[in-house]
Structure 1
Amino acid sequence: MKYLVTGTAGFIGFHVAQKLVERGDEVVGLDVINDYYDIQLKFARLESEGISKEKIEVGKPVQSSSHPNYRFIQLDLSDKDSLMKLFEKEKFDVVIHLAAQAGVRYSLTHPEVYIQSNIIAFLNILECCRFHPVKHLVYASSSSVYGSNEKLPFSTSDSVDHPISLYAASKKSNELMAHTYSHLFGIPTTGLRFFTVYGPWGRPDMALFLFTEAILKGKPIQVFNHGKMRRDFTYIDDIVEGVIKVADRPAQPNPNFDPQNPDPGSGKVPYKVYNIGNSSPILLMDYIQAIEKALGKDAIMEFLPLQPGDVPASHADVSDLIRDTGYKPETSIEFGVKSFVDWYLDYYKK
């Protein structure tokens, strides 16, 4: 199978591409390599997969020196013409679209970036899948779409019409756009609502990275909602397993779909949305304790109110993902946090 994986200089995309390559699939990785966070970390991810920074040139595929079935191309997904030419040339079997502008808080100050990266870019992906048909389009949604919902656990059968950040609204828009293209053009599409992914090579704007860095420097960590947060933290290896299991199973029409009582997570067309999380929420204070234990150093904490755009709790109902794919998250917080800390200390030579 030939895969296009977008966002392969990013956290989740990097790991997904690596796993596909290891199992023998042909992968073309794509990323714009923007400066939302440290681009050296993005280049380091690529270097670890045999993609030399010196050889990267916009629009020109680079062959991995360590994986004969992996190539990388730096490309802006808002460049529709170049993207269309790539689809025409490569004839992908499956697209795993993980590139996006992430971050709830950043969307409060840079809203236009989310329209460009999450709406226009996704439209271009859909158009390419329309004119160069693929067996399956899998794309990243987010647990943020649940917004002001308070019923836990979050289910894909719940309404998600009350987003509390533009980031969440952009991800909900992706799901609506995907359903439209599944309906009009028969493209099998599956959206994955990720729940707080963490692990080695993670994003520097995420809590685990920020907390580890601050604790090592003896600086205070910002603990929002006065520590009364609960998150469905999910380890990267479990996420990757779920993404690939879903990619291997193209979306199908729901034979029991009832237009009189429509299920938001499926359709009478080849469209599906899954939660992908650990389904075992952890208190933020317990998460911090795991970091302290892995570092052998106590945190200095600054307790603050809930941030705009944040939710106090998240909990994924993943029963349909387990039923349909056999997905089974098994990584404990202690193991996952220690794995990240070990990577961090090695990467930054601490």
Structure 2
Amino acid sequence: MKILVTGAAGFIGMHCAERLLQRGDSVVGIDNLNDYYDPQLKRDRLARLAGKAGFRFIELDVADRAGIETLFEQEKFDRVIHLAAQAGVRYSLKNPHAYADSNLVGFVNILEGCRHNQVGHLVYASSSSVYGGNTKMPFSESDSVDHPVSLYAATKKANELMAHTYSHLYGLPTTGLRFFTVYGPWGRPDMALFLFTKAILEGRAIDVFNHGKMRRDFTYVDDIVEGVIRVLDRPAEADPDFNAEDPDPGRGRVPYRVFNIGNNDPVELMDFIQAIENATGREAKKNFLPMQDGDVPATFANTDALTAWTGFSPSTSVADGVARFVSWYRDYYNA
């Protein structure tokens, strides 16, 4: 197939493109290479893809309406993996307009491109952040997600609503994936694993929020990629058993799906830090701090729906995943 991967210079985007190329698909990757974090890391990710048979990269912002229209008209993609977005909960408190541009305007542009060019399936990144103030664990796709606690989360919930509209009006198969704390080699520098590893190896203290009383459903990137591609290969379908009297936000009478994709095994933050200490061979100096605005104390994914749909369930342990990340970090930064 010919597949568009938006955010191809990003953490998950690069890994998805690699896997698609390995199995023989043709991939066009786009990214705006912005400076939200070090653009050199993004260029180095792209360097892993450059020269591989079937891959082309175009520097393009999803918020560029004319550019996206032209791209879709010229390329005629079979399917789309849309990962480009302004990421980060905390940054949304500082620069909200970046989220409106990338996550809302950009998403409409992708939906329109798919609609007008007969794309067979749109798979897009949602987020566990949509669960917001929910306290019932584990989080299930059938839970209400009407109480976001950050603008980032609100934009991701909006993406799910927008996708449903296009599935309803135009029959466009769409599948949203609520990612749960993805980590691994080539990860984002603003994520906890990256920040902690860097600080520990440099002998600096790490900031431990909510005094360490946090739990996260850490999900290794290879597991995420496997889930993304299995979902891509099974386009969303209308659910004949959908009951409008008991609506499930993850299903509908139209070709629309939303799935959690997480490790289904939340880890205490202090245990996560212990895994980094084990992998680096150093004990972390810790600054215990209050909870940050927009953050939540715990995430925990119920992944039964994803497993039923694709036959896949993430399985990489935190100890193994963290060790692989630390090995990559030491090599990449000569640390």
TM range (shorter): over 0.9
> What is the aligned partner in structure 2 of residue 30 from structure 1?
30
Q: Say if 2:212 is the partner of 1:227.
A: yes
Q: Say if 2:227 is the partner of 1:242.
A: yes
> What is the aligned partner in structure 2 of residue 57 from structure 1?
none
Tell me how far apart the structure 2 counterparts of residues 179 and 77 of structure 1 sit (CA, whole Å): 20
> What is the aligned partner in structure 2 of residue 257 from structure 1?
242
**Structure 2 counterparts to residues 160-175 of structure 1, below 5 A:** 160-175=145-160
Tell me how far apart the structure 1 counterparts of residues 203 and 47 of structure 2 sit (CA, whole Å): 31
> What is the aligned partner in structure 1 of residue 264 from structure 2?
279
Question: Post-superposition shift, 1:48?
Answer: 1.6
- Segments of 5+ residues of structure 2 without an aligned counterpart are none
Tell me how far apart the structure 2 counterparts of residues 99 and 133 of structure 1 sit (CA, whole Å): 21
Tell me how far apart the structure 1 counterparts of residues 66 and 44 of structure 2 sit (CA, whole Å): 29
> What is the aligned partner in structure 2 of residue 312 from structure 1?
297
The residue matched to 2:227 in structure 1 has which SS?
helix
**Structure 2 counterparts to residues 132-171 of structure 1, below 5 A:** 132-171=117-156
Name the amino acid aligned to 1:308. D
Contact 2:5 2:81 in 1 (8 A): yes
The residue matched to 1:42 in structure 2 has which SS?
helix
Q: Say if 2:107 is the partner of 1:122.
A: yes
> What is the aligned partner in structure 1 of residue 14 from structure 2?
14
> What is the aligned partner in structure 1 of residue 73 from structure 2?
88
Tell me how far apart the structure 2 counterparts of residues 74 and 320 of structure 1 sit (CA, whole Å): 35
**Structure 2 counterparts to residues 93-112 of structure 1, below 5 A:** 93-112=78-97
The residue matched to 1:9 in structure 2 has which SS?
coil
The residue matched to 1:34 in structure 2 has which SS?
coil
The correspondence for 1:270, drawn from 237, 251, 255, is 255
Contact 2:303 2:313 in 1 (8 A): no
Tell me how far apart the structure 1 counterparts of residues 53 and 220 of structure 2 sit (CA, whole Å): 28
Residue-by-residue CA offset, 1:38-95 (whole Å, 9 max, x unaligned): 0000000011222xxxxxxxxxxxxxx2x12111110011111111111111110000
Tell me how far apart the structure 1 counterparts of residues 102 and 330 of structure 2 sit (CA, whole Å): 32
Name the amino acid aligned to 1:205. D
Name the amino acid aligned to 2:39. I
The residue matched to 2:206 in structure 1 has which SS?
strand
The correspondence for 2:283, drawn from 298, 306, 325, is 298
Residue-by-residue CA offset, 1:225-250 (whole Å, 9 max, x unaligned): 10010000000000000000000000
Point out 4+ residue stretches in structure 1 off by more than 4 angstroms: none
Question: Post-superposition shift, 1:263?
Answer: 1.0
Question: Post-superposition shift, 1:258?
Answer: 1.1
Identity within the alignment, %: 66
> What is the aligned partner in structure 2 of residue 58 from structure 1?
none
**Structure 2 counterparts to residues 64-79 of structure 1, below 5 A:** 65=51, 67-79=52-64
Name the amino acid aligned to 1:75. L
Alignment size in residue pairs: 335
The residue matched to 2:15 in structure 1 has which SS?
helix
Tell me how far apart the structure 2 counterparts of residues 79 and 163 of structure 1 sit (CA, whole Å): 27
TM-score when normalising by structure 2: 0.99
> What is the aligned partner in structure 1 of residue 182 from structure 2?
197
Deviates more, 1:276-285 or 1:81-90: 81-90
Question: Post-superposition shift, 1:253?
Answer: 0.6
**Structure 2 counterparts to residues 315-334 of structure 1, below 5 A:** 315-334=300-319
